[in-house]
Structure 1
Amino acid sequence: MVSNRLNIVLPLAAAVLVISALAVTVTADYVRPPPRKTLHFPWVSRPSSQPQQVHVSLAGNKHIRVTWITSDSSSPSLVEYGTSPGKYNFRGHGDTTSYSYLFYSSGTIHHTVIGPLEDDTVYFYRCGGQGPELKFKTPPSEFPVTLAVAGDLGQTGWTQSTLEHIDLCQYDLHLLPGDLSYADYIQNRWDTFGELVQPLASARPWMVTQGNHEKESIPFFKEGFESFNARWKMPYEESGSTSNLYYSFEVAGVHVVMLGSYTDYDETSDQYNWLKADLSTVDRKRTPWLLALFHVPWYNSNSAHQGEGDNMMEAMEPLLHAAGVDIVFAGHVHAYERSKRVYNGKSDPCGAVHVTIGDGGNKEGLAHKYKEPSPEWSVFREASFGHGELKIVNSTHAFWSWHRNDDDEPVRSDEVWITSLMSSGCVAEERKEAREILWSP
């Protein structure tokens, strides 16, 4: 049930949006500290069957995938779980995978899907029949729902601050638009990243898509994304996709499409055809909110990575616009930026709000330079590390806030109420031209 405070504030949302639409671009002049050094992880001896790098993700309706790694290949892919500490009334069995990369051999990577599970419920669980007891909370089945968003994480001191700040918010799900570990071919950095994020990733579902730092291809020897696909398996099969690099899922009243900036996306590609089919089946009465995530931003007024998303935008933006996507999240640029509703380079009441949030704490530092004058569609931009929170209150209103890391404290630097396109006549069912784009042969 929505709180009284939110009921009072909601009528102000339209006014806030009007003010936001009329305002000129704000480029924050906050003086940012330099990037912090990459964290160093001391080697710790563990039993070979000890579960490590535990994380959970959604795996279809009312199911969770639990992923962990062991050094011992004979350790069972068993998850015991229940709703009381130490009492495991249910068991799930999964499968394993592994990979080799030059002189590196991964441990045994376990993937076990458990469920059906109750919504909005804390479960206590144990992996492999031993190890410490962990717990996760399933997302709610209806509004309100809160999504934490942070991309380009890496493994620096700023990453640690970002994770600590996300942990402070009462979120239900983490969305990560690419560039996870910054392993960059050094495979044990995937292991240290798994250890770094386990406290959060084992307690709430993490839904991720790939970035350029996940590719790790070696011509004529290694295809791209082998490490990413083995370690971070997402529910692509459940969404009808044939690739772990793009998929969709639903949570509460939200349909989310996770796209791949580094796999084929033109009109003849499998990804394009999958996206068109996926968007054409979205029921906006059941999931009134529609979000999209990918790595390379389409709307970017930072000097960094200019134009890199243009080809993907040319191919896929008409599909997102026809479907009435509400918000698009991207990473890649190591700074924050939020747009007005925009389509085809211009403000559009039926366009998506684009948010660049590649500022989780990467080792490469921040992208400080913005283009001047700022484009008409840009509302707020700041080169700082931080994270975002999207609190979807009901079928029509959501509150977005971005929190910079300021001396290890989360400081809310940008915020806005967003009204769903479902309530504005912009969804495909209500526009002939949109129906023709989505449902044409």
Structure 2
Amino acid sequence: MVPYKPKILLPLIMVITALTVTADYVRPPPRKTLHFPWDPKPSSQPQQVHISLAGDKHIRVSWITTDSSSPSLVEYGTSPGKYSFKGHGDTTSYNYLFYSSGTIHHTIIGPLEHNTIYYYRCGGQGPELSFKTPPSEFPVTFAVAGDLGQTGWTKSTLDHIDLCEYDVHLLPGDLSYADYIQSRWDTFGELVQPLASAKPWMVTQGNHEKENIPFFKDGFEAYNSRWKMPYEESGSTSNLYYSFEVAGSHIIMLGSYTDYDENSDQYSWLKADLLTVDRKRTPWLLALFHVPWYNSNYAHQGEGDKMMEAMEPLLHAAGVDIVFAGHVHAYERSTRVYNGKSHPCGAVHVTIGDGGNKEGLAHKYKDPSPEWSVFREASFGHGELKIVNSTHAFWSWHRNDDDEPVRSDEIWITSLLSSGCDKKEAREILLSP
């Protein structure tokens, strides 16, 4: 495929970006937490359906029923109402203080054809749903939004994402903001089902998923039970970190709230996973985690420093192109950066913890901004990353503005592989004991 050469577009984009940075923007007022009326359903009816990637050509379908005897069955096919295939899975459940979850079903189906619409139903009944599998090659588009929650701004963000022609949703932590109130996990599942049942949602944990009670409850019980990701398929021993591949991209999901030092299982897994990356097959390498390493907002300042110290050399050695993080309730994009300063072979870091959380926006930034910070704004929104081919990707951030998505930041990004940054000597750190 002939690579894009956006020589004319780049100066124009730089001008647009510069104008956007300096323009005054009056933010709309905050919105309240959504309230969900009680909606009784048959005990065996599938609820909170969402899908995720589960290895090559496979999809994991997850849903909840209040009937423990309902089968973990997914019937599916390529024509409406005609289910040529079946998949059987397993169930789990959990108790949390006075709360008992429903029966949580996880069923892997496949092998599936790429870029194909499948029609399916869960548990042998319920409404017919459909999803489209990602393509096998470029172009591929990712929707990116973290720190979602369940507010009016969340609904606005989801509505705008629904208008996007994307293939996979990436979420760098803080999903439901249940914060120990387990029924809020259920309402979140209902809120996102229209999107999450139609396109794969790939998520990693944030601080609001911890929900640990010292000496009584370990953390991440609801998250791990409800949002099972392909950690086993990627050789990980924890649902808190894993990797997967989509259409020429290798994507690493890391855990900011589990051990990450050089003696940790996550660190060892990351080194091993990076060594499996074949840049001829997956020329783009992305990483996601919750706590940003490059952050000029006063909110959560310095919280990612220790993880950065331990893991940034690994990501740099492997040539990670783009890093997405959440946690800070605002948007910020860096230039290519490594070891605290601009670097031509570093990663572009994007903080996008502005999906619509209940805590509001983080308005205060350091002044002047660091030399590596290119664009920053405290507004709710989502991002779209379209990887066009092996050398070029187009990133845009869409601000929620009075219910209209406004493209507020955009840039073409050239892959490190095509920039001559794939140096063998840099990979020695991955091979070291």
Indicate the residue corresponding to 1:283 in structure 2: 278
Task: Find the residue that maps to 1:238 and give its secondary structure.
Answer: coil
* Alpha-carbon spacing, 1:210–1:28, altered in 2? closer, same or farther (3 Å): farther
Deviations 1:89-146 (A, max 9, x none): 0000000000000000000000000000000000000000000000000000000000
1:181-192 to 2 correspondences below 5 Å: 181-192=176-187
Indicate the residue corresponding to 1:106 in structure 2: 101
| Residue identity matched to 2:136 | S
Preserved CA contact (<8 Å) 2:286 2:323: yes
Task: Find the residue that maps to 2:179 and give its secondary structure.
Answer: coil
Superposed structure 1 runs of 4+ greater than 4 Å apart: 13-17, 22-25
CA distance in 1, matches of 2:201, 2:432: 34
1:259-278 to 2 correspondences below 5 Å: 259-278=254-273
Aligned equivalent of 2:424, options 421, 431, 439: 431
CA distance in 2, matches of 1:24, 1:257: 34
Indicate the residue corresponding to 2:40 in structure 1: 45
* Residue 66 (1) aligns with residue 66 (2): no
**TM-score calculated relative to the size of structure 1:** 0.95
1:317-396 to 2 correspondences below 5 Å: 317-396=312-391
Indicate the residue corresponding to 1:36 in structure 2: 31
* Residue 91 (1) aligns with residue 91 (2): no
Indicate the residue corresponding to 1:242 in structure 2: 237
Preserved CA contact (<8 Å) 2:383 2:395: yes
Deviations 1:209-244 (A, max 9, x none): 000000000000000000000000000000000000
Task: Find the residue that maps to 1:239 and give its secondary structure.
Answer: coil
* Alpha-carbon spacing, 1:14–1:407, altered in 2? closer, same or farther (3 Å): closer
What count of residue pairs does the alignment treat as equivalent?
432
Task: Find the residue that maps to 2:301 and give its secondary structure.
Answer: coil
Percent identity at matched positions?
A: 86
Preserved CA contact (<8 Å) 1:337 1:380: yes
CA distance in 1, matches of 2:20, 2:429: 32
Deviations 1:232-267 (A, max 9, x none): 000000000000000000000000000000000000
How far 1:425 sits from its partner (Å)?
1.6
* Residue 10 (1) aligns with residue 6 (2): yes
**TM-score calculated relative to the size of structure 2:** 0.97
How far 1:10 sits from its partner (Å)?
3.1
Taking only aligned residues, the RMSD between alpha carbons, in angstroms, comes to 1.7
CA distance in 1, matches of 2:20, 2:364: 15
Preserved CA contact (<8 Å) 1:174 1:204: yes
Indicate the residue corresponding to 1:231 in structure 2: 226
Structure 2 gaps, min length 5? none
CA distance in 2, matches of 1:147, 1:393: 11
How far 1:280 sits from its partner (Å)?
1.3
Deviations 1:50-80 (A, max 9, x none): 0000000000000000000000000000000
Preserved CA contact (<8 Å) 2:20 2:408: no
Structure 1 gaps, min length 5? none
Aligned equivalent of 1:404, options 384, 389, 399: 399
Stretch of structure 1 that moved more, 139-148 or 31-40: 31-40
Preserved CA contact (<8 Å) 2:44 2:66: yes
